[in-house]
Amino acid sequence: MNLADLVRFWGHWRPEGEALLCGDLRQTWAELDAVSDAVAAGLAARGVGHGERVGALLGNRPELAHLVLATLKLGAVSVPLNVRLTAAELAPLVLDADCRVVVTEDALASGLEVAAAAADIDVLSVGGSDLPSWTELLAAGGTPPAVEIADDDAAFLCYTSGTTGIQKGAVLTHRSVLAPAQAKVVSEGLSWRDRILVAVPLVYTGAVISCFMQFTVYAGGAMVLERDFDPDRYLDTIERHRISALTTVPVLWERMAASPDFAARDLSSLVSAAVGGAPVRLDLLERYRERGVSLVQVYGMTEASGLISALRAEDAGDHPGCAGKAILGTRIRIAGPEDETLAPDEVGEILVRGDHVMREYWRNPSATAATMLPGGWLRSGDLGSTDERGYLKVVDRTKDMLISGGINVYPAEIERVLAGVDGVAELAVIGVPDQRWGEVPLVVVTCTDEPTTTLARLAERARTGLAGFKRPRFAVAGTEPLPRTFSGKIAKPELRKTYPTVPPEAAALDVATRR
């Protein structure tokens, strides 16, 4: 079974069922199947065949869904491109992928100028620019060629979000993309009755793989596609469309909870509400629990087709801060520095094995060898532990950990303790050099209150909630939002570049008892 077969199945089996809702558009599975066939025929007429790469530089709009499905029907490879990158940042990705065709829209077309100047790329645009038009694809007519698609054929080439500062292309196959979909359907009972809300960019792996391919295409549900995120409109959409499934990053759940009329909203339709992609504040989980929503944590990564572990809704209250258990068909192992398997509750690197693991990094054998271990184990780059019952706790990124006085310190743990302090909009902890301790934690804070007062509250929370060696020694307070990656994670490489040492404007916190 492959992704293209699923689209055709739902178009035949439930032709009248809703598949895609976006603005005023209401498209059934029969209509979605037909229009993606037409686009596939147009792509084939432009030379796209099995294994060719087709780039998508589009905002959330129906044409993006049509393009992705059309690409898959040809046995070609869909390459979602980050709409927030500059032309100089996009060019290496487009050239690395060696895209045969890239479809964009007028407002984003300038982002391809550098790549188009360096290589012969067939660029089409949705809109009225001088570029070849999207309508030319539809006007090509005919039916797409019949293509044999193997389970291990590449389906997506997804570039990582860049928390390490270097983007690599993960090759996800039809098999790997469908493995978490099967796990979610079996464990949560997702079906064609569900409506899935997507407002983050659909070219983000967590959206196009998890929400579109796994929740919608596999389960046969309806995707409600919003063009952008607005917390009040999002809440409106949940109520109006009776959204049953929503998975997104913590910052968007936080912004909805901050809406003035959040307490009055009807959220009863949400039966699959998940948060992932970054550490989750415990007070955020409690805020939704008070509204009757079991907001559960999931853990995944691009290289594992978006999902590795999940927490059952009924376990959310007893395991706060836990990322759940391995999904169906997945094994998790916690490894030490010599690749030895660690005992329960010992912290080490999280290794993952299963059908959902990527095939390779695109044209990067050295990175593949460094990440894929013998036996099919994928190195996550994350630190964590499992308890006796298999519950996973994600501690931090290996690259974010600092060593202070010879002791491991995990910034994510500090962030969880300090989150929710009055006057703090967001914060992040990084390590900075220290003559005595080697490294000490520095907290960077975006304040909504007077900085001096906010920092005093942070210092008090640190004194009561953190051991001495974990307490931040310095703080930088401001009002500007912290830099984030495309997927909504705080971009710590940028913070480390901005603050390689303690800056002159940093405030010293009260850390009299550090050891």
CATH code assigned at 50:
3.40.50.980
In angstroms, rounded to a whole number, what is the distance separating the alpha carbons of residues 106 and 98?
Answer: 22
Confidence at residue 250, expressed as pLDDT on a 0 to 100 scale: 85
In this prediction the pTM is 0.85
By three-state DSSP, how is residue 450 classified? coil
Contact 228, 191 (CB under 8 A): no
Element (H, E) at 92: helix 87-97
The full DSSP string for 117-152 is HHS--EEEEESSSSSPBHHHHHHT-S-PPP----TT
Residue 471 lies in a domain: yes
Residue 122 lies in a domain: yes
* Paired tokens of 6: 């699923």
Residue 322 lies in a domain: no
For the chain, the helix, strand and coil percentages under 3-state DSSP, each to the nearest 5 = 35, 25, 40
Q: Whose structure tokens read 């036996």?
A: 375
- Domain with residue 456: its CATH number is 3.30.300.30
The residue among 149, 204, 212 whose CA lies nearest residue 181 is 212
Tens of pLDDT along the chain (515 residues)?
899 999 999 999 999 999 999 999 999 999 999 999 999 999 999 999 999 999 999 999 999 999 999 999 999 999 999 898 889 889 999 999 999 999 999 999 999 999 999 999 999 999 878 888 999 888 887 889 999 999 999 999 999 865 445 679 999 999 999 999 999 999 989 999 999 999 889 998 889 999 999 999 999 999 999 999 999 999 999 999 999 999 998 889 989 999 999 999 999 999 999 998 776 777 888 899 999 999 989 999 999 999 999 998 788 778 877 899 999 999 999 999 999 999 999 999 999 999 999 999 999 999 999 999 999 999 999 999 999 999 999 988 888 888 887 788 889 889 988 988 999 999 999 999 988 888 899 999 999 989 999 999 999 999 888 888 889 999 999 999 999 876 677 888 899 999 999 999 999 986 544 44
Residue 44 lies in a domain: yes
By three-state DSSP, how is residue 360 classified? strand
The residue among 61, 257, 91 whose CA lies nearest residue 167 is 91
DSSP letter (8 states) at residue 320? T
In angstroms, rounded to a whole number, what is the distance separating the alpha carbons of residues 511 and 515?
Answer: 10
Residue 334 lies in a domain: no
- Among the three residues 115, 149, 183, which one is the final residue of a domain in this structure? 149
Residue type for 304, please? A
DSSP letter (8 states) at residue 61? S
* Paired tokens of 346: 């010992």
CA 2 to chain centroid: 23
Residue 502 belongs to domain spanning: 402-508
Burial of residue 129 (CB within 10 Å: 0-12, 13-18, 19+) is: middle
Distances (CA, A) of 420 to 281, 423, 488: 7, 8, 18
- Among the three residues 149, 184, 217, which one is the final residue of a domain in this structure? 149
Residue 85 lies in a domain: yes
- Among the three residues 132, 149, 166, which one is the final residue of a domain in this structure? 149
Residue 479 lies in a domain: yes
CA 200 to chain centroid: 9
Residue 473 lies in a domain: yes
Contact 349, 380 (CB under 8 A): yes
Confidence at residue 512, expressed as pLDDT on a 0 to 100 scale: 44
Count up the domains in the chain and report the number: 2
By three-state DSSP, how is residue 240 classified? helix
Confidence at residue 515, expressed as pLDDT on a 0 to 100 scale: 45
The full DSSP string for 252-303 is HHHHHHTSTTGGGS--TT-SEEEE-SS---HHHHHHHHTTT---EEEE--GG
The residue among 34, 11, 4 whose CA lies nearest residue 143 is 34
